[in-house]
Amino acid sequence: MATVLKGARIFDGTGRDVVENGVIIIGDDGKIKQIGENIDSSSVKGATYDLNGKFVLPGLIDAHVHVGNHGMVDTYKENLVEEKVRAIRAVKEMESTLNAGITTIRNCGSVNQLDFSVKNAVEQGLIKGPRILTCGQILSVTCSGTEYFDGLYRVCDGNDQFKKGAREQLERGADCLKVMATGAIMNPGGVPGAEQPDVKELEQIVKEGSKLGKRVAAHAHGARGIKNAVNAGVATIEHGSLADEEALDLMVKNNVYLVTTLLAGYLMLEYGIKEGVPGFMIEKTKKIRACRINTVKRAIEAGVKVAMGSDAGISPYNYHGRNTMELLIYVKEGLMSPENAIISATKNAAEACGWQKDIGTLEEGKIADIIVVDGDPLENIEVLVSDKNIKMVFRHGRLAKYI
C-alpha cells in the first residue's frame, strides 16, 4: 500500500527552495515514488494524510551517538551496570531518538558491542528505533583513561593488533569503524591534543574497513591526530577541536567531514560541577570550548562539510532523544543558518555516513525517511528541539510515530 502526503511544505534538503502545497507519494517498497508540486495523487490507493501546510523534512541523522550509554553524570559508576541491563535500557532510548525525528544514527562506540544487539532488536521489529549504523567497540592504543569506560575500548598496539581489532568489529557486522586518533576529554588522564596511533596503525583500520566497503570515523581533537587520520584515509573527523589551517585544508582536499558534537561540552558546562559533572571533564572542556566553536567556524569557511553529531549517551546529561539540541547550538553560536543546520543533519550527515544514495534528501527513488514538523524550523530551529513538534515520523516508508 502506498502512502500519500499532501498539503506539505517540503524542505527536501537538496538546497532547492521550499515547495508549498507539495505532494509526496511513498511506494510499497518504502521509497519515495513521486515528490513535488502539481502531482495528481487521486488515483493512488493507500493512506492519504493532508498535512495542511506543515513542514516536511528528510528524517534527521545523528552521525555520532553511543548506544548503551545514557547520559549519566557519574561515568565511573556506569561501569557497574551490567550489559544486559544496558541493552534493556537502550530500548526506550532508541524509541525516544526516533520520536525526536532521528531516523538514522551512526553509533560511535558501544560497551561490549551492545549496538549489534540493539540494532538486531530494531530490525526484527521487537522495538522501535532509528536505522542504526554500528561500529562495535572503539579501537584505541594503550593510554590513560580507557579503563574509565569498561568494555568500550578494544585496546590495540601495533599494525597487526589494529588489523585484528578492526576485524573483530567487522566480524560482528560493524557498519563503520571508530578509532581514537587522539586522547579524550572524558577519560581521566587523557590528553585531547596528543596524537595516539601512528599513521601506519590508522591505515590498517582504513584498509580493513575498505575491504568490506566500510568507512572509518576518527575521534581527533589535536591537529596532528586529525592530519594523521586524514592521511590514513578516514571518512570523518569527530570533534576536531584543535584543527589548524593545514588540518582543515587536508580535510577539504580529501572530502573528510567534520562531526562537531558541540552538545557534549555545552551540557557539561550548563549543568556544571554542582550537578555532579566530574571536575576534570569541566576543566578540559573549558580549555577547549571557545577554540572548538572557532574551529567549526573556520572549518565551514574553509569549505569543510559539517555533519551533525551530538555524542548522545556518552557525556553527562546528553540524553538520547535530545540530539537535535546540537542544531540549536549551531544556530545560536552563529555557525549556521537554520537551513544549513538542517542540511548538516540530513544531506551532509548522510554523505558522511556513506548513505547519500539512500537517505538524507527527499528525492524520487530515495528511502522514505520523512518527518512532519509543526512550526517553521527554518524560521526557528528550536522547533526541532521538542519532540512534541515532531508530528509524524516515517522510517523506510512506514509510519513509526503519529501524534
Q: Which residues bind another protein (CB under 8 A)?
A: 82-85, 87-92, 114, 117-118, 120-121, 126-127
**Least distance from C-beta 88 to another protein, angstroms?**
4
Beta carbon of residue 72, minimum distance to another protein (angstroms, whole number): 13
CB of 76 to another protein, least distance (A): 18
**Cβ closest to another protein, residue 132 vs residue 300:** 132
d(CA 103, CA 366): 14
> By C-beta, is 127 or 199 nearer to another protein?
127
Give whichever of 111 and 230 is closer to another protein, judged by the CB atom.
111
Nearest approach in angstroms of CB 98 to another protein is: 15
Closest separation between CB of residue 266 and another protein, Å? 27
**Nearest residue (CB) to another protein, 312 versus 367:** 312
Number of C-beta neighbours around residue 80 at 10 A: 9
For residue 230, the Cα-to-chain-centroid distance in whole angstroms is 19
Least Cβ distance, residue 97 to another protein (angstroms): 15
Give me the count of residues in the chain.
Answer: 403
Which residue number, 152 or 341, has a Cβ lying nearer to another protein? 152
How far apart are CB 168 and another protein at their closest, in Å?
15
Q: For another protein, which is the closer residue by CB, 43 or 124?
A: 124
Q: Which is nearer to another protein, 13 or 130 (CB)?
A: 130
Residue whose CB is less far from another protein, 72 or 206: 72
Q: Which is nearer to another protein, 45 or 77 (CB)?
A: 77
How near is the Cβ of 264 to another protein at its closest, in Å? 23
- Report in angstroms how near the CB of residue 209 gets to another protein at its nearest: 23
Residue 183: all three cell numbers together:
586522547
Instruction: Tell me the torsion sign for CA atoms 232, 64, 399, 126.
Output: positive
**What is the spatial distance between Cα 109 and Cα 126, in angstroms, rounded to a whole number?**
22
CB of 82 to another protein, least distance (A): 6
Q: For another protein, which is the closer residue by CB, 49 or 116? A: 116
Pick the closest to residue 329 from 261, 389, 237 (CA basis): 261
